[in-house]
């Protein structure tokens, strides 16, 4: 068995898929942190801080043992200065979709890599949602649970830019 070239500190199936698509060998460590936003913390500072804390926590799992670099990321959907979290339920997801509909919002992805050195990067994407009908703005059916996606952003809207919006920048 080949050793991984990277440790991924993320439960995100989309991040896993993106790393697989570019051919990286990686292992996953599950990191559980308090993700509360600090008072007066700017959205960019928030995602960068969380990404670095996750990467450091992933590295700490190995103690003094050698390990590949640890990659972590955090993504937030931002309207104005308001960070939209994961919806609590379908009604909350529908409210978020209505808030996003017909306007431009930002998706901020903080990425951190911790090995012998530490590095962080921020990706900011502007996403324009078209106006949606009441029916379109209501999550229904057997689709993936909206609570697995930040601010109920439908995955089909991410397709062209998923490498940026999912928080693992795989191309320039």
Interior angle at CA 92, CA 87 and CA 97, nearest 5? 90
> Residue written as tokens 């390990």?
67
Q: Looking at 32, 34, 40, 74, which residue is catalytic?
A: 74
117 catalytic? Reply is no
Please spell the DSSP secondary structure of 150-167, one letter per residue. GGG--HHHHGGGHHHHTT
Rounded CA-CA distance 91/97 in Å is 10
Rounded CA-CA distance 142/41 in Å is 37
Active-site residue list:
74
């Amino acid at each position: 068995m080949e050793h991984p070239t990277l440790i991924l500190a993320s439960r995100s199936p989309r991040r896993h898929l993106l790393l697989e698509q570019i051919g990286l060998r990686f292992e996953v460590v599950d990191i559980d942190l308090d993700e509360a936003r600090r008072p007066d913390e700017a959205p960019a500072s928030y995602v960068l801080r969380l990404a670095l804390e996750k990467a450091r926590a992933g590295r700490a799992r190995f103690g003094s043992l050698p390990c590949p670099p640890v990659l972590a990321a955090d993504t937030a959907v931002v309207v104005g200065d308001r960070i939209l979290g994961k919806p609590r339920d379908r009604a909350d997801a529908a409210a978020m979709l209505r808030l996003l509909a017909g306007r431009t919002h930002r998706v901020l992805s903080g990425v951190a890599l911790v090995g012998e050195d530490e590095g962080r990067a921020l990706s900011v994407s502007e996403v324009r949602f078209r106006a949606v009908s009441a029916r379109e703005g209501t999550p229904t059916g057997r689709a993936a649970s909206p609570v697995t996606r930040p601010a109920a952003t439908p995955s089909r809207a991410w397709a062209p830019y998923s490498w940026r919006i999912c928080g693992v920048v795989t191309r320039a």
